[in-house]
Amino acid sequence: MRHLISGNKLNRTKSHRKALLMNMANSLFQHESIKTTDTKAMTLKRVADRLITLAKKKDLHSMRLVFAFLRDKVIVKKLFSDIGDRYVSINGGYTRVLKIGRRKGDAAPMAIIELTQKREPEEKAKKEPKEQPKKEAKEKPKKETKEKAKKEPKAKVKKEAKAKPEGEATEKPKRARKTKPKEENKGKSNEEA
């Protein structure tokens, strides 16, 4: 019986399991949402919640403990400066696991694990206006080409179409192999000898 035995071994050795959870925690804090199997997501939830609790303390000892596990300075900095600040007023429940069905290949139960507090929408609103002018700039050349085609007579368009196959013919042809039949080679070698 499994009395008082907590955690899931995930069919891995201790070192492999630790490396797996470290990589998944780094990905979770970087992307704030990852897709994985249900069992791995439940195990990662326990680890991620503990790391966020340490990040809320904002002292040097907590930072060293988190860095000892994650081994990535950029992620640790983000965890203490950005993610930890979101959860200052909340005690627990930093992540959620959403079950999404089974994987197509092996029917493994899949889940999405994500942080409950998302980034502020102000950052997203700033990014959107930058994308819109790019789309307009792409559309302008298309309109100009259509207008040019309308202005040019149809005869020129036909000449250009005929000129393209001629340009292709001017390319260098592939070199043919210069080989002699084997019978002739044998005959010459016998005569020379």
Q: Is pLDDT larger for residue 178 or for residue 97?
A: 97
In the predicted model, is pLDDT for residue 97 greater than 80? yes
Helices 14-31 and 38-57: angle between axes, nearest 10 degrees:
70
pLDDT at 119: 82
For residue 89, the domain's CATH number is 3.90.1030.10
β-partners of residue 98 are: 112
Q: Is residue 128 in a domain?
A: no
pLDDT at 118: 87
In the predicted model, is pLDDT for residue 148 greater than 80? no
Widest pairwise Cα distance in the chain: 101
Structural domain count of the chain: 1
At residue 165, φ and ψ (nearest 5 deg) are -65, -35
pLDDT at 50: 97
Q: How many helices (H) and strands (E) does the chain have?
A: 8, 3
Q: Is residue 48 in a domain?
A: yes
Mean pLDDT over 83-98 rounds to 96
Q: Is residue 189 in a domain?
A: no
pTM confidence score: 0.62
Average pLDDT, the chain: 81
CA distance 151 to 147: 6
Mean pLDDT over 6-14 rounds to 94
**Hey, is 27 helix, strand or coil?**
helix
Domain that residue 68 falls in: 14-122
Q: Is residue 96 in a domain?
A: yes
pLDDT at 182: 62
Mean pLDDT over 175-179 rounds to 67
CA distance 111 to 102: 9
In the predicted model, is pLDDT for residue 179 greater than 80? no
Classify residue 138 by its DSSP letter.
Answer: H
